Each structure stands twice: as C-alpha cells, then as structure tokens.
Amino acid sequence: MRVLFTFAGGNGHFRPLLPLAHALAGAGHTIAFTGEPLMVPIVEAAGFTAFPSGPNLGSDGARRPLLPVDRDREDSDLRDGFVRRTAPQRAKDVMALCQSWEPDLLVCDEADHGAMITAERLGLPHVTVLVTAAGVLIRAGLIDDALNEVRAAHGLPPQRNLEMAYRHLVLSPFPASFRDPRFPLPPTARPFHSPLPARGPAPEWYVEDRPTVYFTLGTIFNTESGDLLARALAGLREIDATCVVTVGNLIDPAEFGPQPEHIHLTRYLPQDDVLPYCDAVLSHGGSGSLLGALAHGLPMVLLPMGADQPHNGDRVTELGLGTVLDVIGATPQDIRDAVTTVLREPSYREAAGRLRDEITAYPAPETIVPLLEGLLR
C-alpha cells in the first residue's frame, strides 16, 4: 500500500502524523509526506520522503510584535486563510502529486481540506488526523460555507458538518475528555496513543531534588511573541526550580543575556527528552505542547497567543489542569506566582494524571494499521 501523508501547516500539523507513518512503514507500506516547502527538510530529517505542496504558512523568521488575543481574527485566519486561499492551492499541488506518485490512501491533517478534496475527486479513501486538542477552531459552523465554495470550484457538491472530512476514519491522539463537549467527536473517530520512549540518562541540567519546569512558545508563535520571552525569563529567575527554556531555531538565546545557574536556555531540545524529567510546563498552549504535557501528566501554565491556543486554555481551566494568563498583561511576578502555584498545589498534577491515564489506555498506532488497510477493501 502506498500512503501519502498530507498536512497544511508547520510542526503542529506534521508531528501528529508521525506515529502513524512509522507504524505503517513498520508494516511494510510505502510512505511519503507532502506539505509546505519550508517543512520538507524537517520531514526528511525524520526519515521520510517529502514533496513540497501549497504555500508556506509557517514562520519566515521575521520577528513580529505581540498582539492581544483576538478569537475573531483567528477564526478569520482559518476560514479565509486555510480554507479559501490555501485549500485551492493545495488541492492543485496534491492532485499533481497523486497523478505522479499514485497513492492508494491519503492521511490528512484536519486542516488540509485541499488534500481531502483531491482524494474525493480521485475516488481515494482518506483518513483525517486531528491536530487541535479542544476541537473548537476547526468547526463546521465556521468553515462549511467557505469549504463549499472551494468544493464547487472543483465540481463537488456541497456538504455540511464537515461530513466529507469525517466520512471514512478520524484518528485522534488527544484525550477525548479534553475536547470541548460542544463539539463531540464524529462517529468515525478512533483514538490512538504513541507509547512514550524510555527515559534516557538524566540530562546535565537535571537536579534530582529540585523541581523542573519546561518553558516553550513552540516553533511558530515564538517569533510573534514580542517581549513575552523576556518577561517569562524574568519570572522564572525568581523560582526555586530548574527551568529548561527553548526559544526556537530562529531566535538567538544570546539576546537575553546571562542567565542564573538554574535557567538552561537553548534554541531547541526534543520534547521527548525534556518532559520525562519535568514537574510542570509553561507554554503558549499549542496542541502539540499541550499533548506532550498531558501525556506525561504535567500541570501547566498557559500564555495563549492565537490559533487554537485560547480554546485549549479554556479547557485547561475548566478541567483544573493549570492556570491561564493574559499574554499582554502578565507580569514577571504573575508568571512566577502561577508557576509556583501549579508546582505546589497537588490538585493540578492529579487532574493532569487522570488525562495521562486516559491517553495511556488508548491503542498504539500499530493497532490502527489494520483499520487503514481495511479502507482499501
């Protein structure tokens, strides 16, 4: 079986697909990925063939000012950006790739409606992999009309309630109880869980008798964060904990000056290498960072900036998993106090532990492979 994995964004859209790609490759199937050109080297570094398609949506490296959270703006970016503008370009490029590479099955991130349209036009089955934890941003009421405009341009009939995105099989790596109950999973949804890698030798920064906090703003929003990194670092300086801080490959850690001995500042570390040694996470609340924290049962402090982060923050608050701060108004003292609270108050860790156990009970990606193979029969 030849399987083409498609995604319409950056790491947050690519990473959830990887466990399934590894499972299929391990079962002897031929795998390739297609996504924005900027992501091709990252996919290849993960060990897979990659083809560019569609426009670049990720960061170009330019530093931008921090904006207040605006959910209407984020809705517009998804509806008009990902659907009206990006989906037609991706449909064109993925169609050309399918005609040359000839896949039997497409596995698409839930934002890649252009690739789903291509699968429908070619009569290919496709799988939708969820990449947003709360399930609010990519919702039928927001994008159905825009999606039908794109479908009409490709000679396809209108649809409602994202029925064509969910028609065959939907796979979710997120705990079902985290999803906003206003937007339940479709009947075709199945959960999966990638077993965590074994905890390796302790990193040089790890101190056994001191709590550890991981701070990240991801790989896209870090360049749109204004002075937030500096404010957070100022707050972490006053915390009695080891603080591991990643600023991303596009930012020079040297610009923040010397740090105290308990703060370890670097461009990038694999999340899987850091989280097994952590006691709490401070982040922007992107779904990938959030899933990592939940998979390890870690309480969190969130500083949402955009995309699905505010919705994730709502659920973190509602479920007692941590606290959420205003990204514009949070002072270093606010950040210090919030992180100190989630480290000291056991209820946050207990709530996170319940969701960790929920994730751990889900089947491994290898058990999903027969479901994918079955779509061809």
At residue 283, does pLDDT exceed 80? yes
pLDDT-derived band at 248, boundaries 50, 70, 90: confident
CB 327 within 8 A of CB 348: no
Which pLDDT belongs to residue 214? 98
Greater confidence, 211 or 58? 211
Lowest-confidence range among 59-68, 88-97, 208-217? 59-68
Which pLDDT belongs to residue 250? 85
pLDDT-derived band at 60, boundaries 50, 70, 90: low
At residue 7, does pLDDT exceed 70? yes
Distance of CA 344 to CAs 280, 339, 348, Å? 10, 9, 9
- Work out the average pLDDT over 36-64: 89
At residue 61, does pLDDT exceed 70? no
Instruction: Map out the domains of the chain with their CATH numbers.
Output: 2-193+362-374 (3.40.50.2000), 212-360 (3.40.50.2000)
- Please report how the helices 346-360 and 287-295 are oriented relative to each other, as an axis angle in degrees rounded to 10: 90
CB 368 within 8 A of CB 190: yes
At residue 70, does pLDDT exceed 90? yes
Which pLDDT belongs to residue 58? 65
285-318 pLDDT, tens digit each: 999 999 999 999 999 999 999 999 999 999 999 9
254-279 pLDDT, tens digit each: 999 999 999 999 999 989 999 999 99
- Work out the average pLDDT over 207-225: 90
123-147 pLDDT, tens digit each: 999 999 999 999 999 999 999 999 9
**CA geometry: angle at 3 spanning 188 and 371, to 5°?**
35
Q: How many CA atoms lie within 13 A of 31 on its CB side?
A: 24
| Cα-Cα-Cα-Cα dihedral sign, residues 15, 32, 53, 130 | negative
Rounded Cα distance, 209 and 129, in Å: 40
Amino acid at 277: Y
Which pLDDT belongs to residue 291? 96
Residues of the chain with pLDDT > 70, as a percent, come to 99
- Work out the average pLDDT over 248-252: 87
pLDDT-derived band at 377, boundaries 50, 70, 90: confident
Rounded Cα distance, 5 and 214, in Å: 30
331-368 pLDDT, tens digit each: 999 999 999 999 999 999 999 999 999 999 999 999 99
At residue 224, does pLDDT exceed 80? yes
12-38 pLDDT, tens digit each: 999 999 999 999 999 999 999 999 999
- Nearest in space to 189 (alpha carbons), one of 197, 199, 198, 179: 179
What is the chain's mean pLDDT, rounded?
95
Instruction: Using CB atoms within 10 Å of the CB of residue 173, give its burial: 0 to 12 exposed, 13 to 18 middle, 19+ buried.
Output: buried
